[in-house]
C-alpha cells in the first residue's frame, strides 16, 4: 500500500486550514482518504477497499496501465504546445472525428469541461453575432464566470439571472410539467422552448445558443424524451442560434448503445457544437470542443488567434488516444450496456419491493433512482437519500446524490464495473432499504 505523509486527522486539519472551504469533500462528516485505486476500486490508508460508483472521470478504470504507460512514454519524450507541429493532436482529432457525425469535424483542445463550454459560448456568439442563451432548469455547465451565468444550479443560489440568459423547463417526465402519461412530452417540452424563443425575440433580443447536457445529470439523471432535441434544434436555428450539446459527463460510450448521448435522439439529430471533458483523459485534464467548418471559420475570421497553453499538448493527446484504445479493446460500451442493463433490472425489482424507490431511469452506466416519501405524491426523500448514501459508505460502496432535491441516487462508475459489482450494490441497497423501512 502506498504510504501516507500524514495521519488522516492531520491531513484533515491541514486541508481545513489551507484549502478553500467551498471546495467540498465527499462524506464531509467522515471523509475517506484514498491512497490508491485500480479499476473500479479505491483503497484507503488502511488498505480498506471501496467500490466506486462515483468516478465517471476515471472512465476506463483508475490508473489503467495502458493510459499511465502512454502518458509516461510521451512525457519522457516530449511535451510542447500546439504551436509546434505534432502527430498526436492530428491523430487524436481524426479518431474523435470518426465517432461524430461528418458535419462535426473541427476540434479545439482545452483543459476542462468549463473551458470547453466557455469556448463553445464564444464560438456560438461569434458565428451568430447574437448574445442570448437558453439553458435548462437546474443545469450546470461549469465554474467559470461565463458558465455560472448559464448554470441555474449555481446562479439561483447566487441571486442573479443575467438578462441574456433564459431558462427552459427541464424535460423531466417524472417530476416535470409534462409527465409519462402525456401523449407527446418531447413535442410539449420542445414547444416550451419555442415559446421562450418567441418571448426573447418579442423583447428585441436574439438567441446565440441553446445549451443542454444530452442527458441532464445534475438535474437528476434525466433522459430527454425522444425527438426533443431535433425539435429544439429546429426552433433555435430558425431563431438564428446554434445547438450546443454538453457531453462532458455523458460522452465516450457511457450510455452503451452509442458513443455520444445525443445520438440517442436518432440519426436526424446533430448538434452544431459538442463539448466534452471528464472521461476524455481518464483523470488527466483533457477536454475539447468539436464543431462545424462554418462555425470554426467564423471564429478564425475574427482575426484573433486562439492559443491555449496546455490544451492539445502531445502528452494529453497520447492519453486521449490510449483512452480510446482501451474503450475499443475492452469493449467498454458493450460492458456499459450489459452491466448497466442488468443493474437497472435489479433496481427495477427493488422499486417493486420498496416504497422509497419512485422511479429507476437511465441507460448504460448512466443510471439513477428517485427516492420518494410516497409514490403517489412523489415527494422527494432528501434525508432518506442522504441516509442511504451514508449507509452504503459504511458498507464500503461510494455513491452520490443529485437532482434539485438531492433525492436521486446516481450511478456513474468507471466503465469496467462488473456484474458482481452490480449484484453487490443491488443487494446492499435492498438490505439497507429494508432496515430503513422498519426503523
Ligand atoms: C455537464 C457538465 N458540464 C461542464 C462541467 C465542467 O467541467 P469541469 O469541472 O471539468 O470544468 C461539468 C462538471 O461537473 C459538468 O458536469
Instruction: Count CB-CB contacts under 10 A for residue 221.
Output: 26
State if residue 222 touches ligand 1 by the CB under 6 angstroms criterion: no
CB 218 within 8 A of CB 138: yes
Helix (H/G/I), strand (E/B), else coil: 253? coil
Interval between CA 285 and ligand 1 midpoint (Å): 12
**Four-point Cα dihedral 72, 76, 78, 80, nearest 10:** 60
From residue 253, how far is each of 38, 120, 357, 363 by CA, in Å? Answer: 20, 22, 27, 11
pLDDT value for 160: 85
Q: Which of 59, 139, 249, 412 to mutate to test the pocket of ligand 1 (most atoms within 8 A of CB)?
A: 249
- 165-168/106-110 β-pairing: unpaired
Number of the ligand 1 atom closest to the C-alpha atom of 112: 10
State if residue 219 touches ligand 1 by the CB under 6 angstroms criterion: no
Q: What is the architecture of the domain spanning 8-60+333-438?
A: Alpha-Beta Complex (3.90)
Q: What is the architecture of the domain spanning 65-329?
A: 3-Layer(aba) Sandwich (3.40)
Do 65-329 and 8-60+333-438 fall under one CATH topology? Answer: no
How does DSSP classify residue 278?
G
State if residue 56 touches ligand 1 by the CB under 6 angstroms criterion: no
Q: pTM of this prediction?
A: 0.97
Instruction: Give CA–CA dist 13/265, Å, rounded.
Output: 48
CB 414 within 8 A of CB 59: yes
Domain ranges across the chain: 8-60+333-438, 65-329
CB 52 within 8 A of CB 34: no
State if residue 249 touches ligand 1 by the CB under 6 angstroms criterion: yes
pLDDT value for 437: 87
Instruction: Give Cβ neighbours of residue 320 (< 8 Å, ≥ 6 apart).
Output: 92, 96, 280, 281, 286
| Closest to 38 measured CA to CA, from 70, 60, 71, 22 | 60
Instruction: Give Cβ neighbours of residue 189 (< 8 Å, ≥ 6 apart).
Output: 168, 169, 171, 176, 178, 225, 228
Instruction: Count CB-CB contacts under 10 A for residue 345.
Output: 13
Interval between CA 436 and ligand 1 midpoint (Å): 34
Instruction: Give CA–CA dist 206/200, Å, rounded.
Output: 7
Interval between CA 111 and ligand 1 midpoint (Å): 11
State if residue 359 touches ligand 1 by the CB under 6 angstroms criterion: no
CB 27 within 8 A of CB 397: no
Distance of CA 348 to the CA centre of its chain: 23
CB 220 within 8 A of CB 360: no
Q: pLDDT 10s per residue in the chain (439 long)?
A: 567 899 999 999 999 999 999 999 999 999 999 999 999 999 999 999 999 999 999 999 999 999 999 999 999 999 999 999 999 999 999 999 999 999 999 999 999 999 999 999 999 999 999 999 999 999 999 999 999 999 999 999 887 899 999 999 999 999 999 999 999 999 999 999 999 999 999 999 999 999 999 999 999 999 999 999 999 999 999 999 999 999 999 999 999 999 999 999 999 999 999 999 999 999 999 999 999 999 999 999 999 999 999 999 999 999 999 999 999 999 999 999 999 999 999 999 999 999 999 999 999 999 999 999 999 999 999 999 999 999 999 999 999 999 999 999 999 999 999 999 999 999 999 999 999 988 7
State if residue 128 touches ligand 1 by the CB under 6 angstroms criterion: no
Range 122-153 burial, b when 16+ CB lie within 10 A, else e: bbbbbbbebbbbbbbbbbbbbebebbbbbbbb
Instruction: Give CA–CA dist 434/136, Å, rounded.
Output: 36
Interval between CA 349 and ligand 1 midpoint (Å): 32
Closest-CA residue, ligand 1 atom 3, reads 141
Number of the ligand 1 atom closest to the C-alpha atom of 213: 1
Closest-CA residue, ligand 1 atom 7, reads 113
Q: Which of 245, 277, 281 to mutate to test the pocket of ligand 1 (most atoms within 8 A of CB)?
A: 277
Amino acid at each position: 500500500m502506498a504510504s501516507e505523509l500524514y495521519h488522516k486527522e492531520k491531513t484533515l486539519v491541514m486541508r481545513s486550514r489551507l484549502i478553500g472551504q467551498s471546495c467540498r469533500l465527499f462524506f464531509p462528516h467522515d471523509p475517506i482518504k484514498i491512497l490508491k485505486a485500480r479499476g473500479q476500486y479505491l483503497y484507503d490508508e488502511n488498505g480498506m477497499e471501496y467500490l466506486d460508483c462515483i468516478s465517471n472521470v476515471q472512465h476506463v478504470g483508475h490508473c489503467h496501465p495502458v493510459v499511465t504507460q502512454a502518458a509516461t512514454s510521451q512525457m519522457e519524450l516530449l511535451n510542447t504546445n500546439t504551436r509546434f507541429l505534432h502527430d498526436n493532436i492530428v491523430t487524436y482529432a481524426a479518431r474523435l472525428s470518426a465517432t461524430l457525425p461528418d458535419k462535426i469535424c473541427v476540434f479545439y483542445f482545452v483543459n476542462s469541461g468549463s473551458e470547453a463550454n466557455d469556448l463553445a459560448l464564444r464560438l456560438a456568439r461569434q458565428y451568430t453575432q447574437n448574445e442570448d442563451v437558453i439553458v435548462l432548469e437546474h443545469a450546470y455547465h461549469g465554474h467559470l464566470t461565463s458558465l455560472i451565468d448559464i448554470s441555474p444550479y449555481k446562479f439561483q443560489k447566487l441571486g442573479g439571472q443575467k438578462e441574456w440568459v433564459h431558462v427552459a423547463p427541464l424535460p423531466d417526465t417524472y417530476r416535470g410539467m409534462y409527465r409519462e402519461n402525456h401523449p407527446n412530452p418531447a413535442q410539449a417540452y420542445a414547444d416550451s422552448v419555442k415559446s421562450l424563443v418567441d418571448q426573447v425575440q418579442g423583447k428585441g433580443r436574439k438567441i446565440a445558443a441553446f445549451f443542454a447536457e444530452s442527458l441532464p445529470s445534475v438535474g437528476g439523471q434525466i433522459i430527454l424524451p425522444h425527438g426533443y432535441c431535433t425539435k429544439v434544434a429546429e426552433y433555435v436555428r430558425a431563431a438564428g442560434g446554434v445547438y450546443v450539446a454538453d457531453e462532458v459527463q455523458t460522452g465516450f460510450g457511457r450510455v452503451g448503445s452509442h458513443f455520444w448521448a445525443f445520438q440517442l435522439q436518432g440519426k436526424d439529430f446533430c448538434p452544431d457544437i459538442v463539448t466534452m471533458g471528464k472521461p476524455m483523459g481518464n483523470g488527466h485534464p483533457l477536454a475539447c470542443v468539436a464543431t462545424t467548418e462554418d462555425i470554426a471559420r467564423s471564429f478564425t475570421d475574427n482575426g484573433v488567434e486562439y492559443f491555449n497553453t496546455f490544451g492539445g499538448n502531445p502528452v494529453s493527446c497520447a492519453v486521449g488516444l490510449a483512452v480510446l484504445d482501451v474503450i475499443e479493446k475492452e469493449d467498454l460500451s458493450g460492458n456499459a450496456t450489459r452491466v448497466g442493463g442488468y443493474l437497472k433490472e435489479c433496481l427495477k425489482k427493488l422499486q417493486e419491493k420498496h416504497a422509497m424507490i419512485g422511479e429507476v431511469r437511465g441507460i448504460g452506466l448512466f443510471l439513477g433512482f428517485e427516492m420518494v416519501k410516497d409514490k403517489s405524491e412523489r415527494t422527494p426523500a432528501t434525508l432518506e437519500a442522504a441516509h442511504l448514501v451514508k449507509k452504503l459508505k459504511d458498507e464500503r460502496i461510494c455513491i452520490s446524490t443529485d437532482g434539485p432535491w438531492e433525492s436521486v441516487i446516481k450511478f456513474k462508475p468507471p466503465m469496467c464495473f462488473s456484474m458482481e459489482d452490480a449484484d453487490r450494490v443491488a443487494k446492499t441497497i435492498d438490505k439497507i432499504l429494508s432496515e430503513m423501512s422498519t426503523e
